[in-house]
Structure 1
């Protein structure tokens, strides 16, 4: 009988480098691709619609690719073939983006679509590498490592690559593309061809759960007893419109409205991501102590107050406006941690232990659906009412979400009290 290879955290860190590169590239792409598209397109709505394309491809294709990688059998295993195709092509096309952007719009779009497809091809298989190499009892720790490295990738993109962008537009694309290719080489020579804990993992992918929920979840939410649950999910859908819209349109606001350098715009946005990473654990502890929904409601009050301040900053008589904006965004990241850290655990608790998977799928369905429409919708507001409408529109989504989350939480709490279920199910105290 073949002896299983021992579990190694060093291997998890190498696998985590795949998520580091993934988040590095995605974060930089989301921040700077709208500016590159601006060379050809004035409309913020059209640029936003193009930026929502990656989320649409993810929901449509990633479940299919994940299931395919579960079933594939080759001499290099079932995940690596997708990495062999996807990662080098993604690296090459990402490097090409700044160069083809100076040729014609349609060549830029063609390369962009190739890049998005390549990223979609390898995303599910690279995520599945972690459970393939990790025993079930250690997957929570391993997942923490993976997510930590992803967070580091996002911060490096906004603080490090943004500075390179100020030197030469092509440099960060070259560096990120090379890092992506180096990561591919590391993974190729590190991961097992026959991993010891391999199983069908496609159903656990976020996108797969979203797609599966689309078929059965909506029918369930129409029932009167799930009205409160629907309101909570609707709140998540609405506030993700505001968050995703700002994520994709902030650099346009900073460069076109504030006349900020492009590199400084991405660097400034990094303060939002930095504070979210720093305060994610404290926010989780607060949610455990005071209840998930109450802490989310606090964040949904604070974040619009912070965002509404941003359009007023140019009128404040202070010499360093950029520093002031960075401070405000840092505070915004803290408020966002109050919201986002609690959201998934709250939804997963809604149905009790027997329906965690069902409500997990609904969470990803509602959050990902908003990411498809948000960049274009917030961009349309900017087209119609000028650049500051980005923050006023986003603030409005958080205010509306506050209403639905509060109402939904009360309805769920009442329903559980009537049936005699423990309030710990939803942790709304």
Structure 2
């Protein structure tokens, strides 16, 4: 598990960058745009790149062969570029330069996000992946807490400071990952339908290049899981992108208070990341995910009626626990439904669907807010969780001890 903790540094840097982006970029856009729907749309432009690039890059990384491995070349290109453009965002001089820096940063992040995620199952046995995903998401949650908890006072000192720190952390993470993680780069059939990874110096003569087609990965269970992923990310992404506006315009918080309130959600997610992975491995990923989805359905529905800052933050804490149940177990579940040599491809599909949700959610929920007011934000998020729970009904349940699919429940 030492490599898993090191890989968590990559998620740590990604999480910090995205948390700062989602918390403060809507405020930058608010200086130029008045419509919440338009701000929501601008927050999704980057996801159009992510939606098409991440599946393609994930698929390409499955077939990449280099001295650095299958995934590492993409990290070595994307992470420095992402660090540079993230640092430039608060230094924009107008609306046009802000949008240019936003697009370039997210384009850079799309280059290495799928390969970074795919590294986890590459270096981890299937039976340990929910626990490993708990570790790397623990690191990601820690990054979000630092982004909101420390980034908010840094932003108050100077808006560029938190983004500069995020860029430096990303560069440091890249150097550590490059020097410490030696990934397997070849896959060979072992005769039982599974694959074994080999480094170049261990590669047997009979190793063959696997053939993976995206359309072959879309079986019935995978489609139901992807449907659930879409709906819960519609709920989550909409709240993440629009919460600072909700807090300032409806609750009456300051910019810093609204951003800091998200720390409570992230802190609860962090605290429950490791237990959630353990529970998913012991009782089954689908069962723990279903608990999280139904829990957030109730929490988001309750927040419709809340205007107290104290009560809102308390409910966000409970919501963070349920989000850990979902987020820690969903990626290992989608990977477990396919072959080992398709990990990068299925990772790309996972991010295609989550990016599609990120594109759809903020402008749609922003339009709903424009029409019905800010309480509609959490009403819509609650509906998204209800639809996700319906998709879960059609997905097969895996055997907790083996991680393989069993009869539909």
Q: TM-score, normalised by structure 2?
A: 0.76
- Distance across 2 between alignment mates of 1:174 and 1:310: 34
- Judge conservation of contact 1:291–1:427 (CA < 8 Å) in 2: no
Displacement of 1:56 in angstroms is: 2.8
Structure richer in helix, relative to its length: 1
Rate the CA distance shift 1:263–1:73 in 2: closer, same or farther, 3 A: same
- Judge conservation of contact 1:350–1:359 (CA < 8 Å) in 2: no
Tell me the residue number matched to 1:110.
100
1:171-219 C-alpha deviation (Å, 9 max, x unpaired): 211221222233345556x258xx573347xxxxxxxxxx954x3456x
- Judge conservation of contact 1:18–1:187 (CA < 8 Å) in 2: yes
Higher-Rg structure is 1
Displacement of 1:112 in angstroms is: 1.4
1:204-236 C-alpha deviation (Å, 9 max, x unpaired): xxxxxxx954x3456x54xxxx7xx75554333
Rate the CA distance shift 1:427–1:323 in 2: closer, same or farther, 3 A: farther
1:31 aligns with 2:23: yes
Tell me the residue number matched to 2:316.
329
Secondary structure of the 1:313 match is: coil
- Distance across 2 between alignment mates of 1:279 and 1:355: 29
- Judge conservation of contact 1:292–1:342 (CA < 8 Å) in 2: yes
5+ residue gaps, structure 1: 1-7, 201-210, 315-320, 417-421
- Residue 278 of structure 1 is aligned with which of 263, 271, 281? 271
- Aligned-residue Cα RMSD (Å) equals 4.3
Q: Which moved more, 1:353-362 or 1:16-25?
A: 353-362
- Judge conservation of contact 2:127–2:403 (CA < 8 Å) in 1: no
- Distance across 2 between alignment mates of 1:78 and 1:379: 39
Rate the CA distance shift 1:157–1:299 in 2: closer, same or farther, 3 A: same
- Residue 163 of structure 2 is aligned with which of 156, 168, 173? 173
Secondary structure of the 1:374 match is: helix
- Residue 54 of structure 1 is aligned with which of 46, 52, 55? 46
- Judge conservation of contact 1:17–1:183 (CA < 8 Å) in 2: yes
1:312-347 C-alpha deviation (Å, 9 max, x unpaired): 222xxxxxx333221110011122234444445555
1:13-412 matched pairs, under 5 angstroms: 15-65=7-57, 67=60, 71=64, 82-83=74-75, 85-100=77-92, 103-124=93-114, 126=116, 140=129, 145-187=135-177, 190=179, 195=182, 197-199=184-186, 213=214, 215-216=215-216, 220-221=219-220, 230-231=223-224, 233-284=226-277, 286=279, 292-314=285-307, 321-344=308-331, 365-406=352-393, 408=394
Secondary structure of the 2:263 match is: helix
1:29-59 C-alpha deviation (Å, 9 max, x unpaired): 1222122111112222222223223333223
Rate the CA distance shift 1:128–1:425 in 2: closer, same or farther, 3 A: closer
Tell me the residue number matched to 2:405.
425
Secondary structure of the 2:159 match is: coil
- Judge conservation of contact 1:255–1:265 (CA < 8 Å) in 2: yes
- Judge conservation of contact 1:65–1:124 (CA < 8 Å) in 2: yes
Rate the CA distance shift 1:370–1:98 in 2: closer, same or farther, 3 A: same
Aligned residues: 382
Q: TM-score, normalised by structure 1?
A: 0.73
